[in-house]
Amino acid sequence: MVWEAGTLLANHMVTHPVAGLRVLEVGCGLGIASLVLSARGANITATDYNPAAGAFLVFNSDLNQSAPIPFVREGWADETTALGNFDLIIGSDLLYEPNHAALLADFVVRHASAICEVILVDPGRGHANQFARLLEPHGFVREAAGATTPGDPLRTLRFRRGAVT
């Protein structure tokens, strides 16, 4: 199923500057944003806790005649990982359980480069402010949320650390 938040994230990635950046999609699901970035030549790695997401990504890459996209089955609490650090971390509809804000914030901090941008599309489940507060001590600054249709809870959250332009 294609979620509205995933579609909005993919739309953001159509024009978002990615040249020279190492990009991580967290909770990639079907991998739509990763596919957009791959088509643009981005250095993208996709992750998801659900191992089926890797099969979805391969299927969708083949369907769209995309180059293979590296996929890592990764849980946010997994501390032993070879993922490394990224300049841009993206995701959609990730903060749907109360404990996800802390788990995701820790994961982002572990995998963020010194200069990093984080873009999340959130459908307003009520945990975005906690996530933002948990990133602040690690040098991340929250930028203004993206514009939405009145009454639509879907928001684009952006955070920056360092001198990202």
Where do runs of H (alpha helix) occur along 30-151? 32-39, 52-63, 100-111, 128-135
* Integer Cα distance of 114 and 105 in angstroms: 15
Whole-number pLDDT of residue 148: 61
Whole-number pLDDT of residue 149: 63
Whole-number pLDDT of residue 138: 97
Segments of the chain with pLDDT less than 70: 80, 145-151, 164-165
Whole-number pLDDT of residue 90: 98
Whole-number pLDDT of residue 136: 96
**Domain spans of the chain?**
4-161
Whole-number pLDDT of residue 109: 96
Would you state the CATH architecture of domain 4-161? Answer: 3-Layer(aba) Sandwich (3.40)
